[in-house]
């Protein structure tokens, strides 16, 4: 999508940043004409070497806002040490976001030729080990897999100059707080840190205080204010069959070019894809159980317009940038209102119009009410003739006082203990029961370990049955 679609409120240009001619050549080759607001405000401060704490709405162009300045730095500053390790480290929560950032680097780096690569879960270790053995200027990584390589002492940070935390709030939600801290503590004391997040509240502020030194703060949009170009709709449904029939009808409507349909579970995504394929709808699933090459193949088909519908779990909630994505459909509502904002932010990007549809079942009333409180607005109810709900909305599950979004629970269970100075303490966190009950898989996912008590109980029951 040409960046010129996002118009700025001023007459600033990329030439005004005094970028190297090779970078301006790359900007022109990618048909970027007018800097977005986040680029106008962030690029000069990053070039000055200032730490940065920034938030901007989805699709605002923040990746280019940090890629151009660090490429400028690499062009104008010699390496600090004689090593092969990265000079720039970008930490991001998911493989999809890592790939999106890597693609942006490739576009901006086409005339400068710095070496770069990514370290994520779902990719064989030998290829990544070979990458880390060679001289490397820029490394994009997910926290879990990067920690795996750090434990094996394969990453050399002696010449690191810039550390970027992208989608920091999402990394916290996913339980990567300890990894983020351990990675940050492994870096040289003198480096520039840039933190980008959809929200600058809660644990993000604590991480910022620990990592950033006198940062410039840029807050362009609240997390609960999605693009005004997104039309949000709610359709009430009575049961699963009603929901599935309504989804099929919506996907066959005129005006729907491409859509992402979000489900709550991986199994639900696979089952829904089977149902839609039987209806003749061109679709595919995307979730965390798929191998990396299959996930990449699926995304490439979506980007090229070969897929009409992508059925995904929240693994695709961020980092997916499809040019002509006309619809986002919440087949299952997310448990977190923040995830709702990021889901629907996949459409209505770069000046385009988008439609976000949520299918709300009888037990979803509390979740919907929580999302509406967070958004500060009541989402418009829509009815399609022939698909009306027989249940009045008042009969749906009301908001519960005890209802809390999943992401908040994750934050509490994943957050490390604070020291007396109010900072995170990885040592204290490692001694908590929660730290013993989670493990990092080879893909960087955090999963609960088996509960030994319940396992023992099942074993006793089995022995009793055999004794009879």
pLDDT digits (tens, 9 = 90+) for 301-339: 888 889 999 999 987 556 677 777 899 999 999 988 888
pLDDT digits (tens, 9 = 90+) for 347-368: 887 667 899 999 999 999 999 9
Candidates 3.30.1300.30, 3.20.20.70, 3.40.50.300, 1.10.10.10; CATH matching 3-219: 3.40.50.300
> Span 230-391: which CATH code?
3.40.50.300
pLDDT at residue 5 is higher than 50: no
Range 27-34 average pLDDT: 93
Q: Are strands 438-440 and 446-448 parallel, antiparallel or unpaired?
A: antiparallel
pLDDT digits (tens, 9 = 90+) for 223-276: 556 567 889 999 999 999 999 999 999 999 888 999 999 999 999 999 999 999
Contact 94, 178 (CB under 8 A): no
- Give the per-residue pLDDT at 447: 36
Rounded CA gap, 436 and 444, in Å?
16
Per-residue confidence at 101, pLDDT binned at 50, 70, 90? very high
- Give the per-residue pLDDT at 8: 42
Rounded CA gap, 172 and 188, in Å?
23
Rounded CA gap, 277 and 199, in Å?
38
User: Considering the entire predicted model, what is its pTM?
Assistant: 0.64
pLDDT digits (tens, 9 = 90+) for 120-158: 988 889 999 999 999 999 999 999 999 999 999 999 999
Same fold yes or no, 3-219 and 230-391: yes
Q: Contacts for 287-293 with beta carbons within 8 Å, 24 or more apart?
A: 287/312, 287/313, 287/315, 288/313, 288/315, 288/443, 288/445, 291/122, 292/95, 292/120, 292/121, 292/122, 292/123
**Among 28-32, 123-127, 249-253, 422-426, whose mean pLDDT is lowest?**
422-426
Highest mean pLDDT among 14-18, 53-57, 58-62: 14-18
Annotated domain spans of the chain = 3-219, 230-391, 408-463
What value does the mean pLDDT of the chain take?
A: 81
pLDDT digits (tens, 9 = 90+) for 273-298: 999 999 999 999 998 788 877 888 88
């Amino acid at each position: 999508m040409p960046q010129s679609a996002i118009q700025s409120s001023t007459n600033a240009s990329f030439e005004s940043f005094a970028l190297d001619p090779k970078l301006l050549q790359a900007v022109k080759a990618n048909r970027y004409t007018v800097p977005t607001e986040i680029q106008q405000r962030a690029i000069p401060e990053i070039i000055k070497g200032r730490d940065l704490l920034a938030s901007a709405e989805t699709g605002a162009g923040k990746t280019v806002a940090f890629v151009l300045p660090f490429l400028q730095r690499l062009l104008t500053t010699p390496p600090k040490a004689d090593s092969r390790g990265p000079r720039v480290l970008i930490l991001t929560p998911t493989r999809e976001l890592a790939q999106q950032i890597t693609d942006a680097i490739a576009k901006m780096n086409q005339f400068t030729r710095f070496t770069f690569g990514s370290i994520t879960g779902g990719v064989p270790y030998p290829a990544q080990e070979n990458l880390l053995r060679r001289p490397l200027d820029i490394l994009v990584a997910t926290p879990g897999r990067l920690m795996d390589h750090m434990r094996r002492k394969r990453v050399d940070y002696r010449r690191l100059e810039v550390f970027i935390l992208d989608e920091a709030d999402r990394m916290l939600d996913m339980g990567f707080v300890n990894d983020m801290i351990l990675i940050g503590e492994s870096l040289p004391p003198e480096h520039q840190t840039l933190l980008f997040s959809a929200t600058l509240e809660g644990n993000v502020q604590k991480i910022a205080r620990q990592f950033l030194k006198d940062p410039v703060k840029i807050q362009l949009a609240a997390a609960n204010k999605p693009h005004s170009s997104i039309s949000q709709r709610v359709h009430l449904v009575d049961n699963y069959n009603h929901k599935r029939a309504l989804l099929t009808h919506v996907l066959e409507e005129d005006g729907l070019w491409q859509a992402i349909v979000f489900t709550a579970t991986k199994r639900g995504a696979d089952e829904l894809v089977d149902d839609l394929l039987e209806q003749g709808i061109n679709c595919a699933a995307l979730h965390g159980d798929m191998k990396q090459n299959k996930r990449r193949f699926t995304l490439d088909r979506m980007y090229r317009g070969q897929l009409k519908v992508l059925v995904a779990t929240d693994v695709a909630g961020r980092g997916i940038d499809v040019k002509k994505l006309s619809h986002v459909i919440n087949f299952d509502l997310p448990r977190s209102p923040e995830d709702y904002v990021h889901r629907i932010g996949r459409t209505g990007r770069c000046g385009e119009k988008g439609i976000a549809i949520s299918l709300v079942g009888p037990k979803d009333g509390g979740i919907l009410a929580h999302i509406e409180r967070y958004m500060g607005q009541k989402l418009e109810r829509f009815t399609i003739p022939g698909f009306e709900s027989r249940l009045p909305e008042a009969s749906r599950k009301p908001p519960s006082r005890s209802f809390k979004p999943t992401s908040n629970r994750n934050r509490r269970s994943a957050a490390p203990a604070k020291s007396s100075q109010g900072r995170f303490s990885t040592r204290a966190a490692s001694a908590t029961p929660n730290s013993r009950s989670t493990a990092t898989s080879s893909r960087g996912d955090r999963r609960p370990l088996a509960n030994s008590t319940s396992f023992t109980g099942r074993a006793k029951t089995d022995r009793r049955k055999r004794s009879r």
